[in-house]
A and B are shown apart, each in its own frame.
Chain A
Amino acid sequence: MAVKKFVVGSFDDEAVLFPAVKKVRQAGYKIHDVYTPFPVHGLDHAMGLRETSLHTAGFIYAITGTTTALSFMSWVFTTDWPMNIGGKPHFPLPAFIPITFELTVLFSAVGMVMTFMYLCQMAPFVKKHIFHPRQTDDLFVMAIEVSEKTNAEEVKGFLSSVGAKEINEQTAEAGWWLGRFDREDKVFA
């Protein structure tokens, strides 16, 4: 991850944010992210984010769980250590189903949570730069990435023209890092 320069604008109304996102994209600026106090329906479409593939990952984790449970149990009870339990056959499929189901759910749930954490760059003790202290309280905060080719002043002017209340410029680590907010040294970035 890299340290980048951002122009940050904060909005206090959802109804202003939507057209602003649309205009910023039309103007060709690169939106780093938009932070909202609550899930806003349709914002992902407005920002042009692609459809998530989290559910495909979930399906793959689930069939991994199914295969693990079924193959392990059949190996144990038919090959490794066959036991006579209540006169049932050595491969009692109905008795395997509940455990197979549980392992399917467990694999997909844990796997999807981990994938989600990775995609959103969230984890315990891991930090991300906070653009505005009120971004999870009552402000909608839009961070626009500034490269060498973009004129930061121009972006600021554009943001105020689309209705941003507070505008400033920040230089910050774009990804996640281990460490503390009050110190510069980062264990891993």
Chain B
Amino acid sequence: MLLGIGLLTLLIGIFALNGEHGPTRFWAGLLQNSTFFLMVALASTFFICVTTLAHGGWQMAFRRVPEAISMTVPVLSVIVLVVLGFLIFGNKGHIYHWLHPEGDRILEFKSPFLNAGFVSTMTVITLALWSVLTIKLRRMSLAEDTMLLDQEGRKALIWKGTVWCGLFAVVYALSMGSTTPWIWLMSIDAHWFSTMYSWYTFASTWVSGLSLIALFVVYLKSKGYLEMVNEEHLHDLGKFMFAFSVFWTYLWFSQYMLIWYANMPEETVYFQPRVWGEFRPVFFLNLVINFVAPLLILMKRSSKRNYTLVAFMGGLIIFGHWLDFFQMVMPATVKHLHFPWFELGIGLGFVGLIIYLTAQQLAKAPLTPKNHPYLKESIVHHT
């Protein structure tokens, strides 16, 4: 049904948004939503990757959930590729003004990096690597189900997983941790730059991705699946959500304070419309939802062990970081604050798409990786 809402909004958007600012808003909304949900889905791959690299065992009881979510990465990659293709080669909505650097000294200086050829090549390489590695990790996990392993075989299995996850960690760090958010999102404000930006984007999508995993776990648990998951696992997911909300705030503040302190016009230009312009309410609402709420609500041990509260906070955090992407994209493109019916509709469509694809993937394989050597660790897990 959410998928339907998304498609309907897309159709209405195509017809309604063709006034003076219409096309800009249409494409900005698509850019915001497609990149946000792709990165959120990719956080699931990263979750599998970090827990494997850390030799974690506690997540085995629900590991098939992030795996299923991560399988939406190839589909969302295609959507992002289509949207960026229109933006870069069609110059739809005039989102990226670095496409025409003529006469602008700053953009001419940056043009060896910010040009259609380089950006699109980087985008294609990044999306291909993300999709291929995600599919590889999933295949390896599914292959375990039919194996009967001795001691040596198990060691080899763990080693193989470590190597592939290490490879993904390197790719993820070089893309998500540096160039990808720059070329997709930061280049909207092409005159402005911030080295914190990628980390900030990463923290935003990583905490939303963790919330998405927690939401799926709570939902499946309420339907009677995942019988090995209990409050202990939920507690650890809640800790992750709490900790990375604070981490996001730390990066947000590190970016904000240095710019505020130095007070240089070429840097403060980014915060001018956000703090003092029309986007002031969104800017502060963003902080309240993403920092104050998780800090105060998820701090207590009992609230991290409460299924209802964790699910509520999961939804709130995902919405909060969606709003964060909204205020990252909109002030430089649409320039005016408006009720985001179009963006919300497209967002719901993406949520529907993720739910649909994830449910399909969950149905394809058993929910417990029964042959994994670390499974017992997860069953007896105790926080």
User: Are B253 and A97 in contact, CB atoms less than 8 angstroms apart?
Assistant: yes
Say yes or no: A55 contacts B256, CB within 8 Å. no
With beta carbons under 8 angstroms apart, the residue of A41, A59, A86, A97 that contacts B382 is A41
- Given A94-B260, A95-B261, 9 additional A-B pairs, CB 8 A: A41-B382, A42-B382, A55-B301, A94-B253, A94-B256, A94-B257, A95-B257, A97-B257, A98-B257
A12 to chain B, nearest CB (A): 23
* Contact residues of A: prevailing secondary structure: helix
Q: Which residues of B contact A86 (CB under 8 A)?
A: 261, 263
Q: What's the Cα separation between A86 and B261 when bound, in Å?
A: 9
Q: Smallest CB-CB separation from B383: which chain A residue?
A: A41
Contact B261–A94 (Cβ < 8 Å): yes
Nearest A-chain residue to B300, judged by Cβ:
A55
Chain B residues positioned under 8 Å from A41 (CB to CB): 382
Give Cα A86 to B260, complex, Å: 12
Give per-residue flags for A52-86: 1 if the beta carbon is below 8 A from chain B beta carbons, else 0.
00010001000000000000000000000000001
State the CA gap A157–B257 with chains docked (Å): 69
Binding site for B on A (CB under 8 A): 41-42, 55, 59, 86-87, 94-95, 97-98
Instruction: Say how far B238's CB is from chain A's closest CB, in angstroms.
Output: 15
Q: Is B132 an interface residue (CB 8 A)?
A: no
The 4 closest A-B CB pairs, nearest first, are: A94-B257, A94-B260, A41-B382, A97-B253
Q: How far, in Å, is B186 (CB) from chain A's closest CB? A: 22
Q: Is B299 an interface residue (CB 8 A)?
A: yes
A-B residue pairs in contact (CB < 8 Å), sample of 17: A41-B382, A42-B382, A55-B301, A59-B299, A86-B261, A86-B263, A87-B263, A94-B253, A94-B256, A94-B257, A94-B260, A94-B261, A95-B257, A95-B261, A97-B253, A97-B257, A98-B257
Q: Report A64 CB to chain B, min CB distance, Å.
A: 16
Q: Report A-chain residues with C-beta under 8 Å of the C-beta of B261.
A: 86, 94-95
By beta carbon, the residue of chain B nearest A59 is B299
* Interface residue ranges of B361-383 to A (CB < 8 Å): 382
